[in-house]
Structure 1
């Protein structure tokens, strides 16, 4: 009975946070010539993160952020994402013919997943990471990378700690980061279509944050943005594992052994 009550309180809390975030609405901020639209999604993440800090996590709030509630939320997050993915699947259909015409672009953007290795690995090693860098730079640290690292090295290894750290950081800050990055890239001259395709990074929450920010910039292109982003996300989910295993892993191994003498193969 106590656990059910705690769960009901959690659901009520989430609904209140959503309501507050929607009331705040989309808030544009201008930095020089740069205009960034902060979405309700951003405010919801910030509110829940701030209230989850130790200073606020007392009494009533401690019950909401209990280990049982956190475990429940993590375990059943997929059920919340399923309707969203069904919606994105429906968004692909109206733009299917257009998407097929630029199909090679969607395939080419898969090479962008190697950026975590090409850029992230040298930075991680420069910061002093060693085997942890292998787990934290193989990809965005989503389920595919988490599964690969856990099977090959176990999560109780330096590589496992690396991928788990990135998984947690991505969960906390991923959607927030991409919802701000997308309008910044648009202000630098990147087209809406290109950024919509780039939104499909392999994480539903990150893709939603990015594509929603783009829709806020160009609401008249909402169908195109959501269609391109959803198609890119589906393709990344399908090809991401093969890109990781056959391209990212060999490249990372080569670069790691090159930059870290005596690194274990």
Structure 2
């Protein structure tokens, strides 16, 4: 095995260990509480250490072009077991999912907003093929797996979805941690906010639901039940919505909005 690759794997294990030792951190901000997950710390650490200032000696070997290429190429191998786990989680509870109600199902249509709103905005900002990966969904595991399988993560589409994945992990959880209690103060029912927490992202759902539980601890079981059911359903239906609705609509819109792109 390449020595630089060994350094990369060891470095990843060290970062994971440090992040897990830090654990979930709840940071009070006035009347709000921001929840930061270990995943957020892991990405912040790796981004910080990847700055040119620190790319010396062994760090230069870890962040070598070859390692970066390796990581982007084989990321899909890490994502596939996660996709399999989603399926394993859904199968035993399929009857419960069908009994949850139409409210959870109609919520899934909200994911199409990334195409109808996000794609035109991305194109106005100057993105082209990158916009396809960036606006197919909220850029979580499902979209990452789909784009990497269809275009590879080395493509422009792959760079688009990977960018949104990283941004969502860094700022999505923080945004949900702050936004959920604001809506609660505006009088939105706690059940509705718990359902809205399940957007298909484990980190965002955990951050939002943990913040709501911190505000109303006596309803912890209700909040977690609604959030988990919504997350499970979104993860399950989200794949079908993405493949059969979002992707065809996005392809049609992109063709009409960007006539010069023949690909």
Considering the TM-score relative to the shorter chain, is it more than 0.5?
A: yes
Question: 1:26 aligns to what?
Answer: 26
Question: 1:166 aligns to what?
Answer: 160
Q: Distance in 2 between matches of 1:46 and 1:78?
A: 20
CA contact (8 A) 1:211 1:226 kept: yes
C-alpha change, 1:260 and 1:35, in structure 2 (3 Å) is: same
Deviations, residues 114-145 of structure 1 (Å, cap 9, x unaligned): 01111101101211233432332122234443
Q: Do structure 1's residue 228 and structure 2's residue 226 form an aligned pair?
A: yes
CA contact (8 A) 2:76 2:145 kept: no
Q: Distance in 1 between matches of 2:193 and 2:256?
A: 33
Single out whichever of 103-112 and 226-235 deviates more from structure 2. 226-235
Q: Distance in 2 between matches of 1:250 and 1:202?
A: 20
Equivalent pairs counted in the alignment come to: 250
Aligned Cα root-mean-square deviation (Å): 4.2
Question: 1:132 aligns to what?
Answer: 130
SS of the residue 2:54 aligns to: coil
Q: Distance in 1 between matches of 2:148 and 2:25?
A: 40
Q: Distance in 2 between matches of 1:253 and 1:25?
A: 41
Q: Distance in 1 between matches of 2:137 and 2:217?
A: 31
How far 1:219 moved relative to its partner? 3.7
Question: Could you tell me which of 169, 191, 194 is aligned with 1:193?
Answer: 191
Deviations, residues 133-169 of structure 1 (Å, cap 9, x unaligned): 23321222344434544565x3389xx413x223322
Single out whichever of 2-11 and 195-204 deviates more from structure 2. 2-11
Question: Could you tell me which of 116, 121, 133 is aligned with 1:118?
Answer: 116
C-alpha change, 1:35 and 1:147, in structure 2 (3 Å) is: closer
Q: Distance in 1 between matches of 2:159 and 2:189?
A: 33
How far 1:110 moved relative to its partner? 0.6
Q: Distance in 1 between matches of 2:225 and 2:149?
A: 34
Question: 2:173 aligns to what?
Answer: 179
Moved over 4 A (4+): 1-10, 60-70, 72-82, 99-102, 146-152, 261-265
C-alpha change, 1:46 and 1:170, in structure 2 (3 Å) is: same
Unaligned stretches of 5+ in structure 1? none
CA contact (8 A) 1:35 1:184 kept: no
Taking structure 1 as the reference length, what is the TM-score of the superposition?
0.70
How far 1:248 moved relative to its partner? 1.6
Q: Distance in 2 between matches of 1:59 and 1:68?
A: 15
Taking structure 2 as the reference length, what is the TM-score of the superposition?
0.70
Q: Distance in 2 between matches of 1:79 and 1:258?
A: 33
Question: 1:39 aligns to what?
Answer: 36
